[in-house]
A = this chain, B = another copy of it.
Amino acid sequence: MKLLNVDTLDEAREKLLSAASGKSPAAEKVSLKESFGRILARDVRSEDNIPGFRKSTVDGYAVRAADTQGAGDSIPVFLKVVETVAMGEAPEKKIEPGQAAYVPTGGMLPEGADAMVMIEYCEKFDENSIAVYDSVSPGRNMVAAGEDVSAGQVIMEKGTRITAREAGVLASSGVHMPEVFAPWKVSIISTGDELVAADVKPEPGQVRDINTYSLLAATAGKGFETVSTAVIKDEENLLEKAVEEAFKTSDVVLVSGGSSQGDKDHTARVIDRLSHGGVFTHGIALKPGKPTILGYDGESQTILAGLPGHPAAALMVFELLIGWLHRKLTGQKEPLSVPAVITENVPAAGGRTTCQMVKLEKEPGGTYSARPLHGKSALMTTLTRADGYTMIGVNREGINEGDTVEVILF
């Protein structure tokens, strides 16, 4: 078998990161409502203390804690109520010894007070005073100014994805226009004489185009923006035109199909020509995913990837290389992995890193078992039944039934 000089997965990643190291996505300020799902482009510091004032966590009376010493179930202390503090307003009076002020949950403590007594432990005594049946220590039932976040503190790091929790904290800190990475613009080109659209009934020998849809969904899932898709016959001049066109508008051009070692392999030639000799990886020692071409055009700062034609392999290479690179350049965390006990032996592919799809099952003790999903490389459904995959290193002979493996979740 003709073996090209393929890279290991790590070599390919190293070359890709080194070539595209200047390719960090641009940053842009967007409104908080538009920022959901986006990635922070820089550390965010709080403008203010949060809370900005000493805040009650209960409905009750703001007091000087010292005044309540000795109070209990049957021994009240009596305090004069000098004010009722309204929500959203600053108190007008200072609490002197022997005084108290009503403050609702979330309301602001008056100066002089240093604790709250819950209303359940207070009783109206007369028009202007209360009996307090609880002794509190300073700081009780309240939050200090800046206790949640102090002004200037980094509240969120670059690379954080903005979900509901982050949106809330950004809002509370007054960050109403967070700076996020602009989405990468991606073009998807599927090549193959056998391809028909998803809404066409294939003739014998034809198959429906899968990669356009699965890569569209995959790029959307990463927050990328797909600027163009094209399905073309497997001819070098058509491919060259399509890639040239995609270059103009894209940060990343994905070409799927046509990068096998068959007699129609022009993807490498086209990518190399258009990237001014920028192809650095001709095949990766990866199963699935061997026929992968990677290149970078420094002039236009465009990443070019020739993905395998097989849909499962194309998705896996997209995730392991393009998704990985984006995480590196934007400072995102790697996807979560969970330990699981493999239920049967899995041989490694000699000399290649193997991505073994697995289905997770919860075991009685709460741990997971991972059942390897087998199937010839043409089987797409294997992928939808999988919950994740485990990587078997290039130098390992395989994994044995009962081994604990790391399953990276889809």
Q: Which residues of A contact B (CB under 8 A)?
A: 1-2, 32-33, 36-37, 48, 50-53, 55, 57, 59, 85-91, 104-108, 118, 120, 143, 147-149, 155-156, 162-177, 192-195, 197-218, 220-221, 234, 260-264, 309, 311-312, 315, 336, 338-339, 365-368, 375-381, 383-384, 386, 404, 406, 409-410
Contacts and interface: CB of A to CB of B under 8 A. Distances in A.
Contacts of A213: 32-33, 167-168, 170-171
What 8 A-B pairs are tightest by C-beta distance, nearest first? Answer: A168-B214, A88-B194, A164-B218, A167-B217, A90-B204, A171-B213, A164-B217, A87-B193
Oligomer: number of copies: 2
B148 A380 contact: yes
29 contacts: A1-B120, A32-B198, A57-B376, A57-B377, A88-B194, A88-B206, A90-B203, A91-B205, A104-B264, A106-B194, A148-B381, A155-B381, A163-B217, A163-B221, A164-B214, A164-B221, A165-B214, A165-B410, A166-B217, A166-B384, A167-B213, A169-B210, A169-B384, A172-B198, A173-B208, A174-B201, A175-B198, A177-B199, A339-B366
Contacts of A90: 203-205
Contacts of A315: 164-165, 168
A209 B379 contact: no
Contact of A198 (B171, B214, B216, B338): B171
A108 B410 contact: no
Q: Which of A37, A59, A208, A368 has most chain B Cβ within 10 Å?
A: A208
